[in-house]
Amino acid sequence: MSTGTDDPCVVTIRVRRTDVAAATAAFGTEPAESHDTGHDGGARTLVFHEVHPDRPLAELTARRLVFDGEHSSGLTYPGRLFASQDGEFRAVDQPYSVISVPIDLDTLTVDPDALSAIRAYKHLADQVRGAFGRPQPLAIAVSALDLREIGDRKPWHRLLGRLRIAGVDFHVEGIAVERSAAAGHCQQPVAADLRTAFGSTAAGLRAEDSFSAIRLSTGDGREHDYVIFIYPYESD
């Protein structure tokens, strides 16, 4: 596949921290985004905009760097997932963000070569993920949420804040919850006017019993349990 010189895309690539300079040089531009990943911060994810993936990825593979990632579709080529280690490079197409394989319409059989390519990619991708280790869950201090009380009946019934992740702003909402005998000891909002929406959210997210809750001190001088929801701002 050749992406040409006038058909760029967005490339997201994870490399070791010691290889960030090599990746930046290969793509010939500074990454638009960069953040630590991996269980010990030993890896870094870089996002390059308006670049051509073939030559840089081939260069990094030839240097035997460990990396994985994906690139978006161009005008003349589909998006791909890719992984590389010890000079071996594997990639699979994912048009419309979905991995697919050709099917013979006469026999309804899957193209064996395409299926073999996906298996080879998955095997190598699993090895690369193992080399990087599992990323740690995101740890956020409560103070970073900038929560304020906005409940109707009692202010502490509902909290609202904001959080920025990878340059994107998100709403943070805290709902005070309790378990009462009247509710069969099921988790529910303290504020009655929030219970219908809370129940619909729990059903939509398939929460089997309850959400995790954190205990926070509030303006009434007491501590209460809160379920925290994080969701993006509406796009313009």
The pLDDT, as a whole number, for residue 98 is 64
pLDDT at 191 over 70: yes
For range 99-112, the mean pLDDT? 76
Query: What rounded mean pLDDT belongs to the chain?
Result: 87
The pLDDT, as a whole number, for residue 164 is 87
Per-residue pLDDT band for 234 (boundaries 50, 70, 90) equals confident
The pLDDT, as a whole number, for residue 236 is 53
Burial 39-51 (b: 16+ CB within 10 A, else e): eeeebbbbbbeeb
Check residue 167 and report its DSSP letter.
Answer: T
The pLDDT, as a whole number, for residue 137 is 62
Per-residue pLDDT band for 24 (boundaries 50, 70, 90) equals very high
Q: How far apart are CA 60 and CA 54, in angstroms?
A: 10
pLDDT at 107 over 90: no
Burial 112-134 (b: 16+ CB within 10 A, else e): eebeebbeebeebbeebeebbee
Q: What is the pLDDT of residues 71-93, one digit of tens each?
A: 988 888 888 999 999 999 999 98
The pLDDT, as a whole number, for residue 40 is 62
